[in-house]
Structure 1
C-alpha cells in the first residue's frame, strides 16, 4: 500500500480511541487529497495560470486541502488565487439551450438522464404548476435514454408544448450566469477543478465562453473519461485516470464506491441556478436531504476532519525539500482508498456501510442490506439495493461468509484493477 515512512506517520497520529470514520479519513481520504493537491498545483503553475476555480459541490474538500498546502500562512503562493464557485451540471447546461432550434438539438446539448419525466421537465425550467397539468402516469414515467423519450408520442407532444418556455427560461438563466461570473471576476484564461467524470461542466462553459468573456479553459479532474473525444476537452487532465492513462480505474470507481463523490462535498444542496438578491447574484440551492446534526452527518464530518488533519500534519512534518512535495503518482496516494474498497475490514464495512448518499431526491445507504429473508421474497429489492451500493461491502454484510467478494465482483464486472 503506502511506503514505510507514510505508514509510520499514520500510525503515530491515529489513536485507538479514534472512531472508524476519522481513521478512514486520515488513513485513506487524506493522502489522496494531499497527492491530488500536489498534482493540481504543479499542473496549474506549469501552464502559467493564475487562478483556479473549484466547482461546487465536488471541489469543496479539494479546495480546503489545496489552500492548506499552498495558500495558508506558511505556504502562501501569492501568484495563485483559488476560488470556490457555485456550479452544477444543471446550472451550467440549461443556459446552453437558449439557441436550440428544436427538441433534438436541445437534448443533444443536455442529454436526458434516467429520471422521472416530470422531474426532467422541471430541470429544464418548466414551472411546477405546468408539469402538474400532465397525467400522473406520464409525469412518473422513466425513459431509458433520450432516444426512447423522443420516440414516445405523448412525451414528445408535451415537450413541444413546453419548448418555448424552456428556451425563454434558458435565456434568463444564461443572463444570470453571466452576471454571476462578472460579479466573481471570472474571465480570461481559467482553470477549473471538478470530480469528473465526463467533463460536462467544462463543455457547457466552453459553449458559453464568448458570453462569459472567457478566453480558454483547462479542466482538472479526479478522473475524466469523456464518452467521445471532444476537442473542447483536449487539454483536460484527470488525476487518477483519463483518456491517456489508467482508464481501467473509471470502471473500478463506478462499480465499487458510489459514496466517493459525497466525501468531497459540503453540507448543502446542489446549485440549481442563480437569482438576484438585492445587489448580488446568489445561488439557488436544492433542499439538502441529509438531516442537520444527524449521526450520518456527524460521521461524514469526522471523515472530512480526519482527511484535512492528515493534509495539515503531513505538510508540517515533511521538510521543504521532501520528495513527497513532488510525488504526483496517483496510484500511490490512492492505494489506501483502494485497499478499503477491495478488502475492507469488518469494522470498516459496518461503519462505512451505514453512510448514505443522495440520488434524484432519494437517500440510499452505502451498504446496509435488509437481510436474506427479505430478499428471498423480494428479489427486485435485492437487485435495486445492490446496484446502488458499495457492492463488496453489501455482499459481505448480507452473506456473512468468508468469501472472496472482490474477486467475484472483479470477474463478474470484468475489472482490471
Structure 2
C-alpha cells in the first residue's frame, strides 16, 4: 500500500473521514461470518453444548433486517430475534463483542496514515456502516491504539448508511457543519466508500482490498484455525523489517505456542503444580509457559547430560559402560571430544595419550572406541579421577535438587531428542521419593519408550515426513531453543549454595561484529511475541493442533526463502569446530559434477538452504525431499 500517496492526498484537504472495518481495522478471520464460529466454539466448549450459534446468529440478523423499519439495525435488535432464551442471548452477545475485539487489529499502513493526520492537525471523523454502536466501535479502536478523532458515526446509531445514497455522509456534514469540499474520505469499499462519497460531493481515496499473510503461508490449507492464524501473522508482521524477528514470529512462534498449550493441558489432566524446565533447551520453553500466567510453579533447572552423567560414573565397572551413558555420538569425533564429555582435564589425559603415541585430535568412531585396547588402557588410568569427581558431583547435585525443591511429583521439560538426561537422571532417582514425568517438545526416537513419557511432536518413525524433514533443517530447532549461557559442566559450592559451572556460550562468537547470540535473541523475541499476542487475542477461541503449529516450519524447513538463506547461511554453530549453516562449495562447477553437489548438500548442516542457494528452484527442492522420503521409508 502506497501510504505516501495517501498522505499527499490528505495534504490537499483539511478534514479526513476514515472507514473502520477493512480500513483502520483488519479482522484476523477469513471472510464471512467467522466471528460467529469463534463464539460458537467458545460457548459450546464452556457449556458442553451444541448451540449451532453461527447459523442462528446469521438467521437472527436476516430476520431483524426484514422486520425492522430502520435503514440499519443494531446488535441489541439482532439478538431480540436470536432463537434462544434471554439469559443465553445475553451471554452470547457478550461473547460476540469480546470476539470482535479479539479478532480486530490495527491495519498497520492505515495506522501510520491516521497518525500522520493527527501530526498534521487534521480533524478526523470515523464513519462506519455497521450494526455495532459507536461506543462498541470505539472500544475496538482504542484497544488498537486509535485515539484523537473527533467523533464516531455508526449507521446503526443514526439509522442512515453510506452504501445506499451516502446519507450518512450528509448527516455528518450537517451535524458538524463541515464544508464538503474540504473533506477526504478514506475507505476500502468501491460503492460505499468511494462512489457514494463522490455522490455527496466528498473527495474519496479507495484503498486496495488486501489480505495479509505470512511469508510461508500455504494457500492450499483451508483449515479454519490455520487461516485465522495466518491472517493474524500477516497483519501483525506488517511494518516489521527484521527477518530474524519475522521468522521467529511466523515459523517458530506457532510451534512454541502449540507446545505450551499442550503442556498446560497435560498439567491440568495430571494436576501437576510444579514444573522444572531443564537448561538449556528449557529456557525459551519456560519463558513461553510463564506467559500463560498459570498457578503452576516453574523453575529453570541448571542441568545437562554431562552434569547428570558425571555423578553416576562411579557405579560403572568398565569404560564401555561409561561411554554408553550418551545415547548419541557423531559419526566421527576426536579423542579430545570424548574426554571433554566426561569433564576430564587436558593435563590428565594428554600425558597418557602421549605415551601411547595418540594425538588427542585424531578422529575415531564409537565402534572403534568401544573395541579399542588403547581406550581401555587410558580409561583404566583415569578411573581414580572419574570416581572421585563422580562422588563429589553426586553430592553437589543432590544438594542442588534439595535447594531447588526438586522433590515429590513433578514434571521435567526438555527438548527430547535421545532423552540422555532422562535416562541418566532415572539412575539417580531410583532410591528417592521423586516421581518424574518427562514432557518433551519432541522425541526423536522411541528408545525405551514408556507410558509416562509425554511428547508434543513425534519425530520418530511413526511420523516419517517430520522425521525426514528434520534431516534438512534440524539445527534450527537447536538454534531457537538456545539459552543465553553455556552448557552446565557440573556444580560447585559458592556462599554455602550450590551453583552451576557453566561453559562458554558457543553462540557468543568473539570474532564477529554481530554475534549469533544477538540473532537468536531476536528470533526468540519474535516467537515469544507470537505466543503472548495470539494467546491474548485468539487463544481461548480455538483448538490448536500439531498440524497448525508445524505448517510454517515444514515449508521453511524444506523450501526456505532466498532472504532467509542469505541471512542465516553464514550463521556459525559449534560442532567439532565452528562451521556455517551453509558451507562453501567444494567444486568450482557443479553442472558437470552433480554427485559432488549432492554429497556437499548432505554434508551441510542445512541441506535445503545449501540446495536453494545454488539451485534456486523450490519445486526441485520439494521433489528432492519427496524422493528422499520415499527412499528412506519405502
CA distance in 1, matches of 2:254, 2:327: 35
Give the match for residue 131 of structure 1: 349
Corresponding residue for 2:537?
317
Per-residue CA deviation, residues 235-262 of structure 1 (Å, 9 max, x unaligned), is 1122110669535523431443322112
Match of 2:473 among 228, 232, 256: 256
Which residue pairs with 1:90 in the alignment? 306
Relative to 1, partners in 2 of residues 1:143 and 1:15: Cα closer, same or farther, differing over 3 Å? same
Determine if the alignment matches structure 1 residue 117 to structure 2 residue 338: no
Tell me the distance in 1 between the aligned counterparts of 2:302 and 2:539. Answer: 35
Q: 1:244/1:227 Cα in 2 relative to 1: closer, same or farther (>3 Å)?
A: closer
Q: Distance in 2 between matches of 1:261 and 1:299?
A: 13
Distance 1:358 1:186, change over 3 A: same
1:74 equivalent in structure 2:
none
- Computing the radius of gyration from Cα coordinates, the structure with the larger value is 2
Mapped pair 1:373 → 2:588: yes
Between 257-266 and 288-297, report the one with greater CA deviation. 288-297
Instruction: State yes or no: 1:179 paired with 2:399.
Output: yes
- 1:355 aligned to which of 571, 578, 594: 571
Given that residues 88 and 271 in structure 1 are in contact (C-alpha distance below 8 angstroms), is that contact kept between their aligned partners in structure 2? yes
- Cα shift readout 1:96-131 (whole Å, capped 9, x = no counterpart): 222112223333334683421123124324332112
**Counterpart pick for 1:391 among 607, 610, 623:** 607
Following superposition, the deviation at residue 314 of structure 1 comes to: 1.1
TM-score (norm 2): 0.58
How many residues were matched structurally?
Answer: 400
Gaps of 5+ in 2: 1-217, 219-224
Matched residue SS, 2:493: strand
Map 1:17-416; keep pairs closer than 5 Å: 17-69=240-292, 71=293, 77-78=294-295, 80-110=296-326, 113-114=329-330, 115-133=333-351, 134-135=353-354, 137-145=358-366, 147-210=367-430, 213-226=432-445, 228-230=447-449, 233-241=450-458, 246=463, 248-289=465-506, 290-291=508-509, 294-318=514-538, 320=540, 322-324=541-543, 327=544, 329-360=545-576, 362-370=577-585, 372-373=587-588, 383=599, 386-400=602-616, 404-412=620-628, 414=631
CA spacing shift, 1:104–1:416, aligned 2, 3 Å: closer
The change in CA–CA distance for 1:313 and 1:17 in structure 2 (over 3 A counts) is closer
Cα pair distance change 1:383/1:162, threshold 3 Å: farther
> Which SS does the other structure have where 1:155 is aligned?
helix
Task: State the 4+ residue runs in structure 1 displaced beyond 4 angstroms.
Answer: 242-245, 374-377, 379-386, 400-403
Closer, same or farther: CA 394–214 of 1 in aligned 2, 3 Å? farther
C-alpha displacement of 1:308: 1.0
Q: Which has the higher contact order (CA 8 A, sep 6+)?
A: 1
Contact between 1:68 and 1:312, CA under 8 Å: does it hold in 2? Answer: yes
What is the root-mean-square deviation in Å for CA atoms of aligned residues? 2.8
The answer to whether the 8 A contact 1:60-1:84 is kept is: yes
Q: Per the alignment, do residues 402 and 189 of structure 1 end up closer, same or farther by CA in structure 2, a change over 3 Å counting?
A: closer
Distance 1:220 1:190, change over 3 A: same
List per-residue Cα deviations over 1:389-413 (Å, max 9, x = no partner).
Answer: 2111111113445661232144236
